[in-house]
């Protein structure tokens, strides 16, 4: 099982356990960057061959327009601008790379030493980093540069002097984390010298960080070089793109037609050089980044799910699909009441693994007032199925076949707006990590109130009274309504989320591990609360859980899932005492002591 | 309270380092400090005149004494005399300050708003054509030097199209009071401000995009969606509201970036702020003025940083209680 690990959230987000595929675009972008860089290096090296004139020789009248062998005309002295442009690539590359190299080397050294020595050395070094990072870079470079006098060496020095701090901070945190790893600890306890540990164990893990840091530093150094040259702090005798623009500025060339051949080309040169390093850096970054668990989430939440097959038949049948596939198992209704939820031969896949069905031909019913336990191992597809039951499957998930009927309407074919009116009102969800399900910047009471006001236009005092009532029902002091989420314990937050789910007396509640993280007393209270709700409001409850004893205590029927399929559905008594499927037996065997006394069919 | 104290201590440290650096520069740089303080013409003076100058600048005292005297001068608001303008540095700086405040202030606000909204939008539509277009655009614009963007904008919109004046902050001989004057100033502000925003908005955009992507993956956002909250409210009230937090912490740093950008961009537009003053002082090697400008800019950056950080708890309830969650 590689997809849809046992974790459900209201967004039906099943987290993929497969390693995230590296975006191909990042690699391609890195290659483009490399290509641009190689091209620039070739131009810089072959400048004498490419440039038709000596960039420092007066070859024509000043301010000449392009033509007569001068592709870009001439500058204020009579230099051939095209030749200056070609030679200018040298300064950009040399200063950019040299300054970045010095800055990275300095930063790496400081970071390594600080992270390794810790204590006061680290404190002093990091203070210095903080100070440098909070100074205004360019004014600092200017004031130092003016005192050192213009020139390439000054440029490299001042750029490196302000840019070492970033790499130093990155490197230090890397060293701090690496030095606590087991094999490093072991090497040190075996008496390996500092130098040896640094060389053998620390350095290899640091290199993947140093390289991107260097690339990013080079990118910024090129821009700084351009600005310094523009301000007249570059080498006057060496042609560079920055000084080209500086003279264009001083001679107001950009106020005439000359901007096209004097101003635009060097700017494009600088931008290309910066982009080359930016793309390279992007490529490196994607290569070394830990796969983000949030990648692609945006699309999931942002686009309201509209997937799903077009409505096939009007929502009439109570038991749809009489001829079930050989692999699916009838939900085995016990003939009580009407159905609130009908899942009919549902097939769902995730884009991470299109050939693997997270939910495979599942058919299932939940009657009004019924409690259905949905059990199975992690990754069995419980989460995906639960999300599909709520109509909360994200757009990425593909519903290849099947339908979900909620109170007689085809949930998957319902328009997003209409479906949204059901969520939180008729269909409620308690996510697995409920303690994280509160927005950290809004007060608890306001978030419970939002569940009500989203669906009903009520006066404030009515809403407030309802919030007070709800908090009381989940055993919380109503005074907590004005608390921020971070001021409550995990268990308290979880109860707030339960209160939110119950806010509008839903018809169907899908709860994923609602008791996990609660202590035994609270678990019992919650079970009582759900039982009383069920009696009072004929709530249908789907209990997704690993906790088999809980299911046997609360549920009317149990559905057992394995590898996306429903392998057994039956009453609690049947499942507990006469399980037919071997997987059910295995799950039951895994329960340490089956509390037989609570099983009263 | 402890967080506030440590924040203030950190700011003071930066100011002390900047000031000390400022004091040390003429002594560290090659040549006689008098050269730097007296505009490079000391070579033409006699030995007695040089000694007089040294005494005049207090350079005959020991370094620690000079250092103390330097601080004393700072507290009296004495930053020396600008060689180029032949007036106290403080006066010259204060005269230029309002224009830079106007330019950097408006640009910071606009860049923050535009960058955040565009970044949030890109994250919301992550992978869409709009997102890819925005990210590409930001990468390309970020690769261009700010002053070059300014030169091109001037060439196109001021010279070729004639929509905007190409230089200055207020029309010479134009209206000096009333709405007409405000309109004239605003008209001349458009191009430099656009340049500064373009040159600096990329960082905020990428940060907002990343922060928004993170919030969109949070359990609480999925829960809000499961409550039936409509997409627009999800985006603003929940996702964007949370994504603002990391963006807000960098607002102070943005001011430093903005001021750096203003130095070169004001030059292109001959905008009469601190930036073009620094440029002119650089060209003229007006050392006292440069040192004063650097100190003023540093103070501005440090103060903004501290203010932004101290105001941060207003946005984030988790750090609102004393000392909670802050190192």
Residue matched to tokens 């890109």 = B122
pLDDT exceeds cutoff 90 at A147 = no
Chain B, window 266-295: residues with a beta carbon less than 8 angstroms from a chain A beta carbon: 267-268, 278-279, 282-283, 285, 287, 290-291, 293-294
Mean pLDDT (whole number) for A355-360 = 85
**Model pLDDT for residues A66-99, shown as the tens digit of each residue:** 777 777 777 777 778 788 888 888 888 888 899 9
Distance CA A131, CA A149 (A): 24
Chain A, window 422-481: residues with a beta carbon less than 8 angstroms from a chain B beta carbon: 422-425, 428-429, 431, 433, 436-442, 447, 450-451, 454-455
Distance CA A271, CA A279 (A): 12
CB contact under 8 A, B219 and A436: yes
pLDDT (0 to 100) of residue A99: 92
Distance CA B34, CA A173 (A): 45
CB contact under 8 A, B143 and A272: yes
Query: Is the separation of the CB atoms in A3 and A14 below 8 Å?
Result: yes
pLDDT exceeds cutoff 90 at B120 = yes
pLDDT exceeds cutoff 80 at A13 = no
Q: Cβ of A131 under 8 Å from any chain B Cβ?
A: yes
- Computed over every residue of chain A, the mean pLDDT equals 78
Residue with more model confidence, A327 or B220: B220
pLDDT (0 to 100) of residue B64: 83
The beta-strand segments (E) located in A462-564 are: 508-512, 540-544, 557-562
Task: Looking at the complex, report in whole angstroms how far the Cα of residue A432 sits from the nearest Cα belonging to chain B.
Answer: 9
Q: Is A193 helix (H, G, I), strand (E, B) or coil?
A: coil
pLDDT (0 to 100) of residue A595: 53
Mean pLDDT (whole number) for B286-304 = 86
Expressed in angstroms, the distance from the first to the final Cα of chain B is 12
pLDDT (0 to 100) of residue A323: 37
pLDDT (0 to 100) of residue B36: 64
**Model pLDDT for residues B308-326, shown as the tens digit of each residue:** 888 888 888 877 654 433 3
Q: Is A284 helix (H, G, I), strand (E, B) or coil?
A: helix
Query: What is the CA B16 to chain-centroid distance, rounded?
Result: 19
Residue of B nearest to A438 (CA): B220
Name the band, by pLDDT with cuts 50, 70 and 90, for residue A250.
confident
Query: What percent of chain A has pLDDT above 90?
Result: 9
pLDDT exceeds cutoff 80 at A179 = no
pLDDT exceeds cutoff 60 at A3 = no
pLDDT (0 to 100) of residue A317: 37
pLDDT (0 to 100) of residue A592: 64
pLDDT exceeds cutoff 70 at B44 = no
CB-nearest to B229 from A138, A255, A450 is A450
Name the band, by pLDDT with cuts 50, 70 and 90, for residue A21.
very low
Strands A508-512, A427-430: pairing is parallel
CB contact under 8 A, B216 and A301: yes
CB contact under 8 A, A270 and B291: no
Q: Cβ of A162 under 8 Å from any chain B Cβ?
A: no
pLDDT exceeds cutoff 80 at B244 = yes
Query: What percent of chain B has pLDDT above 90?
Result: 16
Name the band, by pLDDT with cuts 50, 70 and 90, for residue B13.
confident
Chain A, window 20-79: residues with a beta carbon less than 8 angstroms from a chain B beta carbon: none
pLDDT (0 to 100) of residue B195: 92
Mean pLDDT (whole number) for A451-466 = 91
pLDDT (0 to 100) of residue A242: 84
Give the 3-state DSSP-derived string for A122-191, with helices as H, strands as E and coil as C. HHHHHHHHHHHHCCCHHHHHHHHHHHHCCCHHHHHHHHHHHHCHHHHHHHHHHHHHHCCCHHHHHHHHCC
> Which residues of B are less than 8 Å from A233 in CB distance?
282
Q: Cβ of A245 under 8 Å from any chain B Cβ?
A: yes
Task: Looking at the complex, report in whole angstroms how far the Cα of residue A437 sits from the nearest Cα belonging to chain B.
Answer: 4
Mean pLDDT (whole number) for B55-79 = 79
> Which residues of B are less than 8 Å from A457 in CB distance?
none
Query: Is the separation of the CB atoms in B204 and B247 below 8 Å?
Result: yes
pLDDT exceeds cutoff 60 at B76 = yes
Name the band, by pLDDT with cuts 50, 70 and 90, for residue B1.
low
CB-nearest to A423 from B228, B283, B317 is B228
Residue of A nearest to B285 (CA): A146
CB-nearest to A254 from B155, B316, B317 is B155
Name the band, by pLDDT with cuts 50, 70 and 90, for residue A528.
confident
Mean pLDDT (whole number) for A463-484 = 89
pLDDT (0 to 100) of residue B149: 92
Mean pLDDT (whole number) for B21-38 = 71
What ipTM was estimated for this complex? 0.84
**Model pLDDT for residues A193-249, shown as the tens digit of each residue:** 777 777 777 777 788 788 888 888 898 899 998 888 888 888 777 888 888 888 888
Q: Cβ of A366 under 8 Å from any chain B Cβ?
A: no
pLDDT exceeds cutoff 60 at A601 = no
Residue of B nearest to A301 (CA): B216
pLDDT (0 to 100) of residue A107: 92
pLDDT (0 to 100) of residue A134: 80
Chain B, window 174-233: residues with a beta carbon less than 8 angstroms from a chain A beta carbon: 212-214, 216-231
**Model pLDDT for residues A564-590, shown as the tens digit of each residue:** 888 888 888 888 787 888 888 888 777
pLDDT exceeds cutoff 50 at A488 = yes
pLDDT (0 to 100) of residue B197: 94
pLDDT exceeds cutoff 70 at A114 = yes
- Six token digits for residue A89: 């690539």
Q: Cβ of A294 under 8 Å from any chain B Cβ?
A: yes
Residue with more model confidence, A325 or A557: A557
Q: Cβ of B54 under 8 Å from any chain A Cβ?
A: no
Residue with more model confidence, B130 or A352: B130
Mean pLDDT (whole number) for B37-49 = 62
pLDDT exceeds cutoff 60 at A287 = yes
pLDDT exceeds cutoff 50 at A600 = no
> Which residues of A are less than 8 Å from B128 in CB distance?
299
Q: Is A49 helix (H, G, I), strand (E, B) or coil?
A: helix
pLDDT (0 to 100) of residue A14: 37
- Computed over every residue of chain B, the mean pLDDT equals 83
Interface probe with B: pick from A16, A126, A146, A255, most Cβ of B within 10 Å: A146
Strands A508-512, A540-544: pairing is parallel
pTM for the whole thing? Answer: 0.80
Q: Is A24 helix (H, G, I), strand (E, B) or coil?
A: helix
Q: Cβ of A593 under 8 Å from any chain B Cβ?
A: no
pLDDT (0 to 100) of residue B57: 66
pLDDT exceeds cutoff 90 at B115 = yes
């Amino acid at each position: 099982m590689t997809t849809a690990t046992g974790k459900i959230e209201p967004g039906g987000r099943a987290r993929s356990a497969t390693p995230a595929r590296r975006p191909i675009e990042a690699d391609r972008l890195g290659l483009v960057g490399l290509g641009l860089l190689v091209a620039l290096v070739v131009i810089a090296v072959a400048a004498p061959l490419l440039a038709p004139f000596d960039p420092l020789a007066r070859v024509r009248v000043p301010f000449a327009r392009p033509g007569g062998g001068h592709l870009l005309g001439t500058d204020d002295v009579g230099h051939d601008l095209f030749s200056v442009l070609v030679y200018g690539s040298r300064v950009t590359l040399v200063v950019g790379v040299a300054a970045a190299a010095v800055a990275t080397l300095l930063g790496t050294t400081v970071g390594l030493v600080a992270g390794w020595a810790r204590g006061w050395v680290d404190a002093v070094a990091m203070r210095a980093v903080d100070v440098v990072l909070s100074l205004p870079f360019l004014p600092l470079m200017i004031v130092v540069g003016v005192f050192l006098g213009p020139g390439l060496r000054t440029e490299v020095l001042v750029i490196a002097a302000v840019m070492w701090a970033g790499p130093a901070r990155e490197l230090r945190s890397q060293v701090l984390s690496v030095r606590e790893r087991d094999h490093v600890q072991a090497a040190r306890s075996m008496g390996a010298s500092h130098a040896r540990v640094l060389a053998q164990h620390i350095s290899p893990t640091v290199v993947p960080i140093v390289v991107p840091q260097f690339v990013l530093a080079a990118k910024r150094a090129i821009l700084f070089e351009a600005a310094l040259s523009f301000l007249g702090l570059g080498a006057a005798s060496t042609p560079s793109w920055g000084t080209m623009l500086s003279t264009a500025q001083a001679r107001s060339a950009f106020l005439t037609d000359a901007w096209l051949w004097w101003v635009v080309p060097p700017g494009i040169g600088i931008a290309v050089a910066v982009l080359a390093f930016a793309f390279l850096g992007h490529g490196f970054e994607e290569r070394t980044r830990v796969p983000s668990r949030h990648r692609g989430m945006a699309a999931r939440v942002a686009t309201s799910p509209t997937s799903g097959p077009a409505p096939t038949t009007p929502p009439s049948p109570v038991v749809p699909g009489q001829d079930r596939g050989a692999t699916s198992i009838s939900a085995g209704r016990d003939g009580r009441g009407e159905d609130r939820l009908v899942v009919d031969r549902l097939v769902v896949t995730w884009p991470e693994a299109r050939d693997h069905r997270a939910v495979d031909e599942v058919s299932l019913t939940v009657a009004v007032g019924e409690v259905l336990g949905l059990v199975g191992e992690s990754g069995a597809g419980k989460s995906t199925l639960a999300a599909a039951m709520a109509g909360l499957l994200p757009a990425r998930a593909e519903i290849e076949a099947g339908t979900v009927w909620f109170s007689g309407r085809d949930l998957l074919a319902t328009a997003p707006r209409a479906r949204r009116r059901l969520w939180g009102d008729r269909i409620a969800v308690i996510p697995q990590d409920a303690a994280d399900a509160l927005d950290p910047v809004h007060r608890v009471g306001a978030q419970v109130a939002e569940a009500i006001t989203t669906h009903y236009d009520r006066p404030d005092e009515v809403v407030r009274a309802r919030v007070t009532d709800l908090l009381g029902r989940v055993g919380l002091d109503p005074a907590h309504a004005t608390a921020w989420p971070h001021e409550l314990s995990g268990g308290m937050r979880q109860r707030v989320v339960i209160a939110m789910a119950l806010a509008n007396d839903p018809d169907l509640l899908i709860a994923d591990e609602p008791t996990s993280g609660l202590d035994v007393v609270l678990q019992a209270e919650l079970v009582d609360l759900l039982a009383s709700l069920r009696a009072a409001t004929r709530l249908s409850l789907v209990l997704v859980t690993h906790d088999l004893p809980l299911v046997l205590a609360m549920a009317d029927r149990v559905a057992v899932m394995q590898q996306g399929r429903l392998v057994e559905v039956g009453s609690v008594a049947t499942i507990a005492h006469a399980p037919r499927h071997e997987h059910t037996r295995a799950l039951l065997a895994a329960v340490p002591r089956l509390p037989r006394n609570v099983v009263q069919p | 309270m402890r967080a506030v104290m440590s924040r203030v201590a950190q700011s003071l440290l930066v100011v002390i380092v900047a000031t000390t650096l400022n004091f040390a520069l003429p002594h560290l740089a090659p040549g006689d400090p008098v050269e730097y303080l007296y505009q490079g013409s000391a070579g033409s003076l006699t030995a007695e005149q040089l000694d007089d100058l040294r005494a005049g600048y207090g350079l005959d005292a020991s370094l620690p004494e000079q250092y103390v005297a330097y601080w004393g001068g700072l507290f009296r608001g004495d930053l020396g005399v600008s060689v180029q303008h032949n007036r106290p540095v403080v006066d010259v700086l204060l005269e230029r300050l309002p224009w830079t405040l106007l330019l950097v202030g408006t640009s910071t606000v606009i860049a923050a708003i535009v960058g955040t909204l565009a970044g949030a939008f890109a994250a919301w539509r992550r992978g869409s054509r709009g997102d890819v277009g925005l990210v590409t655009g930001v990468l390309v614009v970020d690769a261009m030097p700010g002053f070059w963007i300014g030169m091109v904008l001037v060439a196109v919109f001021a010279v070729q199209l004639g929509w905007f004046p190409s230089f200055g902050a207020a029309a010479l001989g134009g209206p000096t009071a009333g709405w007409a004057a405000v309109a004239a100033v605003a008209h001349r502000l458009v191009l430099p401000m656009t340049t500064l925003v373009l040159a600096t908005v990329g960082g905020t955009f990428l940060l907002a995009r990343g922060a928004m992507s993170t919030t969109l993956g949070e359990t609480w956002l999925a829960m809000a969606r499961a409550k039936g909250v409509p997409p627009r409210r999800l985006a603003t009230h929940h996702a964007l509201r949370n994504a603002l937090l990391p963006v807000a912490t960098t607002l102070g740093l943005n001011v430093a970036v903005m001021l750096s950008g203003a130095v070169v961009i004001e030059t292109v537009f001959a905008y009469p702020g601190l930036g073009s003053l620094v440029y002119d002082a650089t060209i003229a090697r007006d050392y006292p003025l440069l040192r004063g400008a650097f100190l003023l800019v540093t103070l501005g950056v440090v103060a903004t940083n501290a203010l932004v950080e101290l105001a941060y708890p207003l946005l984030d309830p988790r750090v609102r209680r004393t000392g909670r969650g802050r190192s």
